[in-house]
């Protein structure tokens, strides 16, 4: 055994918005990977449009930076708990972690979730206190918080001796003391090369490689990414693939890629300790081992997080089908969902009795919402049902997923937030008064209690509240109604175009979701009722014009601003008898049964069936 002294493999951990991606941009920029004539777009590691818009990392990616004689492989981890499946696997590829913490906000729940996984793997941590240039920065207190968190997560004595680098990723500066910044990232490069252990690897032993991440390419097919655990891997080599169930098959390494900056570079061979991408093996999956045919020894199979939420994806059958999308058939929908399974292991797709409906299970609303958003951008039209949590049975008891919720709220909103969470069966576990007029509250709450809570929470805190949650555990199912919508809806009785006059006529009945001039159909949800029952309205009504001038001539009346939903808000808003229609340009809410008399008939039947039970 000897260590590859020139290699450092690290994962980077941070809460959403703490500046992880900007930090990597700076490390790339200052390492001279980009030549002068090459321009580098900001947030280079977030390659997907959605990641750029939302400022979150969804898929783990890796990049390689050369500094002096070192090759530093940096693997980016998603900060959001919905992508926890990725996190656990990444920790198997690296020897150390870079924990990036905001100099003002300090530690957040997602950071805790990812850090726990890193410490369990006995990885060496380095703490980077970022945004040190912020006027409200409080580096000393933040370091104390990090230390408390390490102790709470039962870090070893060595892990508690972590080095701290103070940085401003935005300005490209870093230093070992909070008071004064050096003009470069030198302090960080040096800390990484000195503190993170080099991979101790067995180059002269038989090959072993664990597939940790998947990518997909139209030309190369499935691409397996991971770290060479021992031995040497070469292009054109014959290997044995040991599958998750213990069976094995032979395959050939068609192409082998190393990483340089953000590019994949074709390479002839790689040794133990290197992070590489392999193309040419059909049907390979995450958690499988690529080994030497003479010594086919499997590495421990990776645990993949169970899905906790499911939705039904249906073919669009609304009266407006095909207006905007180019993919509308069930064959195309099925193809697209199964293609997603190639790279996303936390996703499950189950076929139903109907060829037009598929049950899709994922790690949370965000996970499923991002899949839907990607599909609509690719030109798909589809409908989805209300998100539901997955209840599982353990030893004859029904168990439901519970989330750990962390909330920062202004003191004056604290009472109403606690009351609203109480009705959603939340249990408070911690409360810290920060002394700055805000209070940090920590709760354990059933995942179904959080569906649709975000919008309500922002209203209660007038937009000042910050809410974060991460999956905690499965707990016995709580009986009764948890969360859900209490208001009824306004349902359109006509197919046509909304008019100013028609909308004014129903304004006092509730809040409308559309603007005048929008196309609507019968059975579509056009607003929220002020009471808890649904009512039918006609907002396509035109004003009858006569040649008689009225004494009280038309006054210009200002309409209330309608409530326009984003995709996430629309999904959260749904009830059991409703669907959300998603097309490349529009998100519409509708009743499952569009016709009013048909709806009433079905409601009567189910009521009678319940009474007869």
User: DSSP letter string over 282-331?
Assistant: TT--TT-EEEBTTB--PPPPPP-PPP-EEEEEEE--STTTTSS-SB-SHH
The pLDDT value recorded for residue 60 is 46
Q: Which residues of 112-142 are buried (b: 16+ CB within 10 A; e: fewer)?
A: bbbbebbbeeebbbbbbbbbbeeeebbbeeb
Q: How far apart are CA 500 and CA 337, in angstroms?
A: 40
Q: Which CATH superfamily is domain 309-389 in?
A: Elongation Factor G (Translational Gtpase), domain 3 (3.30.70.870)
Q: How far apart are CA 258 and CA 2, in angstroms?
A: 21
For the segment 378-418, what is each residue's pLDDT rounded down to a tens digit?
999 999 999 888 888 888 888 988 888 888 888 888 889 89
3-state secondary structure 501-534: HHHHHHHHHEEECCCCCCEECCCEEEEEECCCCC
- Residue ranges, the chain, pLDDT below 50: 1, 33-47, 51-52, 54-60
3-state secondary structure 384-447: ECCCEECCEEECCEEEEEEEEEEEEEEHHHHHHHHHHHHCCCCEEEEEEECCCCEEEEEEEEEH
Q: How far apart are CA 10 and CA 91, in angstroms?
A: 9
Torsion sign across C-alpha atoms 328, 329, 331, 333:
positive
For the segment 17-62, what is each residue's pLDDT rounded down to a tens digit?
667 778 888 888 887 644 443 444 444 444 455 544 544 443 446 7
CATH topology of domain 392-476: Alpha-Beta Plaits (3.30.70)
What global pTM score does this model have? 0.73
2-200 CATH, one of 3.40.50.1100, 3.40.50.1820, 3.30.70.20, 3.40.50.300:
3.40.50.300
Q: Is 131 annotated as a binding residue?
A: yes
Q: Is 461 annotated as a binding residue?
A: no
Instruction: Map out the domains of the chain as residue ranges.
Output: 2-200, 208-291, 309-389, 392-476, 489-567+593-610
The pLDDT value recorded for residue 588 is 94
Q: How far apart are CA 210 and CA 302, in angstroms?
A: 9
Could you confirm whether domain 208-291 is CATH 3.40.50.2300? no
Q: How far apart are CA 598 and CA 594, in angstroms?
A: 8
Q: Is 19 annotated as a binding residue?
A: yes
CATH topology of domain 489-567+593-610: OB fold (Dihydrolipoamide Acetyltransferase, E2P) (2.40.50)
Q: Is 21 annotated as a binding residue?
A: yes
Q: Is 133 annotated as a binding residue?
A: yes
Q: Is 130 annotated as a binding residue?
A: yes
Q: How far apart are CA 606 and CA 437, in angstroms?
A: 51
CB 408 within 8 A of CB 438: yes
For the segment 116-154, what is each residue's pLDDT rounded down to a tens digit?
878 888 899 999 988 888 887 888 888 888 898 888 888
Fold equal for 208-291 and 392-476: no
CB 222 within 8 A of CB 342: yes
Three-point CA angle 407, 413, 415, nearest 5°: 90
Q: How far apart are CA 558 and CA 503, in angstroms?
A: 11
CB 243 within 8 A of CB 298: no
């Amino acid at each position: 055994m000897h260590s590859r002294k020139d290699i450092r493999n690290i994962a980077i951990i941070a809460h959403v918005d703490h500046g992880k991606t900007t930090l990597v941009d700076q490390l790339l920029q200052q390492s001279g990977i980009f030549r002068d004539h090459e321009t580098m777009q900001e947030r280079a590691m977030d390659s997907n449009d959605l990641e750029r818009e939302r400022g979150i990392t969804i898929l783990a990616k890796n990049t390689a930076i050369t500094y002096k004689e070192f090759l530093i492989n940096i693997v980016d981890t998603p900060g959001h708990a919905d992508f926890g499946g990725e996190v656990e696997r990444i920790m198997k590829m690296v020897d150390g972690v870079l924990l990036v913490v905001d100099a003002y906000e300090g530690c957040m729940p997602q950071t805790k979730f990812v850090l726990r996984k890193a410490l369990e793997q006995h990885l060496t941590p380095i703490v980077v206190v970022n945004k040190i240039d912020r006027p409200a920065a409080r580096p000393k207190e933040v370091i104390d918080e990090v230390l408390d968190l390490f102790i709470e997560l039962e870090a070893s004595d060595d892990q508690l001796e972590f080095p701290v680098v103070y940085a401003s990723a935005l300005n490209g500066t870093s230093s070992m003391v909070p008071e004064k910044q050096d003009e470069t990232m030198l302090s960080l490069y040096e800390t990484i090369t000195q503190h993170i252990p080099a991979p101790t690897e067995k180059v002269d032993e038989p090959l072993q490689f664990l597939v940790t991440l998947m990518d997909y390419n139209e030309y190369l097919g499935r691409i397996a990414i991971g770290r060479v655990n021992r031995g040497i891997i070469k292009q054109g080599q014959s290997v044995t693939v040991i599958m998750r169930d213990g069976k094995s098959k032979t395959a050939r390494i068609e192409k082998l890629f190393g990483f340089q900056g953000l590019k994949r570079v074709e390479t002839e061979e790689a040794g133990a300790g290197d992070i590489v991408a392999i193309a040419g093996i059909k049907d390979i999956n995450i958690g499988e081992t690529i080994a030497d045919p003479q010594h086919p020894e499997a590495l421990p199979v990776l645990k993949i997080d169970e899905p906790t939420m499911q939705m039904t994806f249906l073919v669009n059958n609304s009266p407006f089908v095909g207006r905007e999308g180019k993919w509308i058939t069930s064959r195309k929908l099925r193809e697209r969902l199964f293609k997603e399974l190639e790279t996303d292991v936390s996703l499950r797709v189950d076929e139903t009795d109907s060829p037009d409906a598929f049950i899709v299970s994922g790690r949370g609303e965000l996970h499923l919402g991002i899949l839907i958003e990607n599909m609509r951008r690719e030109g798909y039209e589809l409908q989805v049902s209300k998100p539901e949590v997955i209840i599982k049975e353990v030893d004859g008891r029904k168990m439901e997923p519970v989330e750990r919720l962390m909330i920062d709220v202004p003191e004056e909103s604290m009472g109403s937030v606690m009351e609203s969470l109480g009705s959603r069966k939340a249990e408070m576990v911690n409360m810290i008064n920060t002394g700055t007029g805000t209070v940090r509250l920590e709760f354990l709450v059933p995942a179904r209690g959080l569906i649709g809570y975000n919008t309500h929470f922002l209203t209660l805190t007038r937009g000042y509240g910050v809410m974060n949650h991460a999956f905690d555990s499965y707990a016995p199912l709580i009986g009764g109604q948890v969360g859900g919508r209490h208001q009824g809806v306004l349902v359109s009785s006509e197919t046509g175009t909304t008019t100013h006059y028609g909308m004014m006529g129903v304004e006092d009945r509730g809040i409308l979701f559309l603007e005048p001039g929008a196309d609507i159909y019968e059975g579509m949800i056009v607003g929220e009722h002020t009471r808890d029952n649904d009512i039918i309205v006609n907002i396509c009504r035109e004003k009858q014009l006569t040649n008689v001038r009225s004494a009280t001539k038309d006054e210009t009346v200002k309409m209330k601003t309608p409530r326009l939903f984003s995709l996430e808000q629309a999904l959260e808003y749904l009830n059991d008898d409703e669907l959300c229609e998603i097309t490349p340009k529009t998100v519409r809410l509708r009743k499952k049964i569009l016709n009013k008399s048909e709806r009433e008939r079905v409601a009567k039947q189910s009521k009678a069936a319940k009474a007869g039970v």
